[in-house]
Amino acid sequence: MNDRESAIPRRSHPWIAREGWSYLGVVSIAGSLLYLGFGWPGLAPAVVVFVVIAFLLRDPPSSIPCDPLALVSPVQGRVTKVESGLHDPWLDRDASCIHIRVSPLDVFSVRSPTEGKVEEQWCRVPDAAGAEHSRRFSYAFWTRTDEDDSLVTVVSAPRLPFLHRLQVSLQTGDRVGQGHRVAYLLLGGDVEVWTPVNVNTEVRPGDRVRSGLSTLAHLVHQQPATALRDE
């Protein structure tokens, strides 16, 4: 990462998410048919629907802060809970967890909180007793940084019939950049970021965060030792 902020290219992440282009295409076709049949009065409702969908599926680019030890927010939303001293059910370790709620009016893109390698992915809750009866889907990915810190990002939301709410663009073994777009959570949901215990949390419950821009926490590492000492 260079000294300047690393901006995600607009051409790679257009203002309207690619996942929504098919919806806009259907509305455009329907609007054209309504216009042919009823003229401008018939087209007006389609224009309104088009604008509403375009707003909901907006995907503005983010400028990633130049801070390698920062954990950026993977989503836009509101912090609902910050916990420490927990048992991480994904990696079986002591950990902290930051919970974020993404509303249906927030941006739905999901980004990687840090740079590193995707070690593993899961697609259900690790609680066997609740997984079989849960009406919520759950997806998680484990990222290991170059400093050997491990983070698990968990995305969950209620299932809706006939609607594919989560699309993921990651493969296990991929290397992702800090703030890199990795998934799309249509209509929002809940996101958890499981971190090592050695973090300085920067957010509190109630804080609004922006994906790829807001800093959730900083990883803490000892300063490297040096052979030069003052006499």
pLDDT tens per residue across span 184-228: 999 999 999 999 998 999 999 999 999 988 999 999 876 554 444
pLDDT at 11 over 80: no
CA dihedral 104, 59, 25, 32 (to 10 degrees): 90
pLDDT tens per residue across span 74-103: 999 999 999 999 999 999 999 999 999 999
For 94-139, the DSSP string reads EEEEEEEEE-TTS--EEE-SSSEEEEEEE-S-S-HHHHTT-SEEEE
Count of CA atoms in the C-beta half-sphere (13 A) of 119: 15
pLDDT tens per residue across span 129-179: 444 445 778 899 999 999 899 999 999 988 877 777 888 989 999 999 998
pTM of the model: 0.80
Backbone torsion region of residue 162, taken as left when φ is above 0, otherwise alpha when ψ lies between -120 and 50, otherwise beta: left
pLDDT tens per residue across span 96-121: 999 999 999 999 999 999 999 999 99
